[in-house]
């Protein structure tokens, strides 16, 4: 068998790894590269393989950097089955549809604003359309956790819980290479979560595995303890509510929003925060929260207990979901303290930008960041303490209180990753992917110190097993 690393090799986004076995080609994930626009366009259109040559695909989870290019691949001629967990299949349909709509909107904007200035510039087309998403979704096959299934001749797979987002899976393979008459086991982690994340089960340990492809997003870092999250959230809400201000939380629609809802339900129930309204103002968050409700098989013990006790952790007294844009606008005139959770997580687009525009000059308000803020985003500027910011071409003074919480993360840190690896028996070789180059190399060096054979492949590099 050969493995070709076709994306997320010495970088974080655009996960794609190609298995070549017994004249078949199996793709692990088909993620979107996310970065500056021109670079993204070039990278997302160049595949180090022919899309028509792929026989089947395994999808680890529904984050766009793992599934975001699937409709483009189908459009370019991939007709095989896409295996994922049942929850991933449901989440992916909304995530991909949202991605197609964002691309269509961006293209409109570019045509209107940039074409006039640069008429000779080659057009940038969307990677795919809503129609392509519908077509790709017909190729999905949902499979339960811990049920082995045949993928291709000589390759059987089984999903284990990765504990990263709802439906996330680590895939364990049993391989028979006919040419070499060789049998072995292998696993691909996708993204690995942390222990004790709310709602989700902890990442599972794997059966005996000879070869491992592992992520390394935080291969050289350690997180703040997750136990502190509720107390920190309560403190921020109480201080802002006492002043009579609004709390704005830019949050990604998938997972972080549901985690926040879960924590606020707990805090509200325990009377650790006042009974102020909590608005989830994002149509995608509303749809994804419904997918969560439909997949209790993915929940941890504590969340299942809540549901058995007839409690709904995604819908409680003070919580209100908002889809209609008119209802969203009404929040502008809402007086008094409230919490608004809205996308996007880096405040680059979506309804949160309007809420920031309306509240950023209010000294009573708080803007709470709960995720990573990439370079050059509005979120990053606020976190870095800029006193004047530009929103929709107008300048605003930053009078609101800006807070960043570091305890949130859906990724395993170095100690979690080492714990995961050290619980695998019989490991012969570890391939390290999905990390900025330095994180991956340092993680590899650390694994080598512990006696493992660890390797960080380059983009498009091929290895033989």
CB 31 to Zn ion: min, Å: 9
CB 27 to Zn ion: min, Å: 17
Triad 26, 27, 33: Cα angle to 5°: 170
The answer to whether the beta carbons of residues 22 and 152 sit under 8 Å apart is yes
Question: Given the DSSP bridges, would you call strands 462-464 and 2-7 parallel, antiparallel or unpaired?
Answer: antiparallel
CB 316 to Zn ion: min, Å: 27
Name the one residue in this structure whose structure tokens are 């349909």. Answer: 93
Q: Pick the closer one to Zn ion by CB: 246 or 256.
A: 256
Nearest to 414 by CA among 440, 448, 437, 436: 440
CB 63 to Zn ion: min, Å: 4
CB 6 to Zn ion: min, Å: 18
Q: Pick the closer one to Zn ion by CB: 215 or 281.
A: 215
User: To 10 degrees, what angle do helices 229-243 and 256-269 make?
Assistant: 70
Which residue's CB atom is positioned nearest to Zn ion? 63
Residues 6+ apart with CB under 8 A from 83: 56, 57, 58, 59, 141, 143, 149, 151, 157
Q: Pick the closer one to Zn ion by CB: 12 or 237.
A: 12
CB 196 to Zn ion: min, Å: 18
Q: How far apart are CA 57 and CA 60, in angstroms?
A: 10
CB atoms within 10 A of CB 182: 12
Tokens of 187: 């696993």
CB 272 to Zn ion: min, Å: 30
Q: Pick the closer one to Zn ion by CB: 10 or 351.
A: 10
Binding site for Zn ion (CB under 5 A): 63, 191
Q: How far apart are CA 406 and CA 211, in angstroms?
A: 33
CB 87 to Zn ion: min, Å: 14
CB 29 to Zn ion: min, Å: 10
Q: Pick the closer one to Zn ion by CB: 372 or 396.
A: 372
Q: What are phi and psi of 214, to 5 degrees?
A: -125, 145
Q: Pick the closer one to Zn ion by CB: 339 or 433.
A: 433
Question: Given the DSSP bridges, would you call strands 140-143 and 81-85 parallel, antiparallel or unpaired?
Answer: parallel
Instruction: Supply the DSSP symbol for 401.
Output: E
CA atoms within 13 A on the CB side of 115: 11
Nearest to 362 by CA among 400, 403, 334: 400
Q: Pick the closer one to Zn ion by CB: 63 or 414.
A: 63
Tokens of 43: 């990278």
Q: Enumerate the H helices of 25-83 as residue ranges.
A: 37-45, 64-67, 70-75
Q: Pick the closer one to Zn ion by CB: 185 or 217.
A: 217
CB 57 to Zn ion: min, Å: 17
Tokens of 395: 């300048």
Q: Pick the closer one to Zn ion by CB: 90 or 191.
A: 191
Q: Pick the closer one to Zn ion by CB: 25 or 63.
A: 63
Q: What are phi and psi of 368, to 5 degrees?
A: -110, 120
Triad 395, 281, 86: Cα angle to 5°: 130
């Amino acid at each position: 068998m050969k493995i070709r690393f076709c994306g997320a090799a010495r970088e974080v986004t655009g996960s794609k790894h190609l298995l070549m076995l017994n004249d078949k080609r199996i793709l692990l994930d088909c993620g979107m590269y996310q970065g500056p626009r021109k670079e993204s366009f070039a990278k997302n259109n160049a595949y180090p393989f022919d899309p028509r040559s792929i026989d089947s695909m395994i999808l680890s989870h529904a984050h766009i950097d793992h599934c975001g290019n699937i409709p483009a691949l189908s459009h370019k001629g991939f007709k095989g089955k896409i295996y994922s967990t049942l929850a991933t299949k449901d989440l992916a349909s909304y995530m991909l549809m949202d991605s197609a709509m964002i691309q269509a909107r961006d293209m409109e904007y570019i045509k209107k604003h940039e074409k006039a200035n640069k008429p000779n510039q080659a057009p940038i087309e969307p990677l795919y359309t809503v129609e392509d998403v519908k077509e790709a979704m017909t190729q999905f096959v949902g499979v339960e956790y811990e049920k082995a299934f045949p993928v291709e001749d000589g390759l059987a797979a089984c999903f284990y819980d990765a504990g990263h987002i709802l439906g996330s899976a680590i895939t364990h393979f049993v391989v028979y290479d006919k040419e070499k008459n060789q049998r072995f086991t292998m696993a691909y982690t996708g993204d690995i979560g942390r222990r004790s994340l709310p709602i989700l089960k902890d990442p599972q340990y794997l059966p005996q595995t000879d070869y491992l492809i592992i992520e390394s997003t935080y291969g050289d870092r350690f997180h703040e303890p997750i136990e502190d999250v509720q107390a920190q959230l309560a403190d921020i809400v109480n201080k802002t509510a006492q002043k009579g201000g609004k709390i704005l939380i830019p949050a990604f629609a998938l997972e972080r929003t549901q985690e926040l809802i879960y924590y606020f339900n707990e805090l509200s129930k325990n009377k650790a925060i006042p009974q102020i309204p909590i608005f989830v103002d994002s149509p995608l968050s509303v749809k994804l929260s419904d997918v969560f409700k439909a997949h209790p098989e993915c929940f941890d013990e504590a969340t299942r207990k809540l549901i058995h006790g007839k409690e709904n952790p995604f819908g409680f007294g003070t919580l209100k979901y908002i889809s209609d844009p008119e209802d969203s606008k009404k929040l502008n005139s809402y007086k008094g303290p409230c919490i608004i959770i809205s996308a996007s997580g880096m405040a680059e687009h979506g309804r949160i930008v309007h809420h920031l525009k309306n509240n950023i000059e209010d000294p009573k308000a708080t803007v709470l960041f709960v995720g990573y803020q990439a370079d050059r985003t509005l979120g990053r500027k606020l976190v870095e303490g800029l006193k004047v910011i530009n929103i929709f071409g107008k300048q605003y003074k930053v009078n609101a209180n800006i807070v960043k919480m570091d305890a949130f993360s859906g990724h395993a840190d170095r100690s979690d990753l080492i714990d995961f690896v050290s619980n695998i028996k019989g490991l012969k070789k570890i391939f390290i992917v999905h990390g900025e180059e330095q994180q991956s190399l340092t993680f590899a060096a650390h694994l080598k110190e512990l006696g493992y054979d660890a390797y960080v492949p380059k983009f498009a590099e091929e290895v033989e097993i």
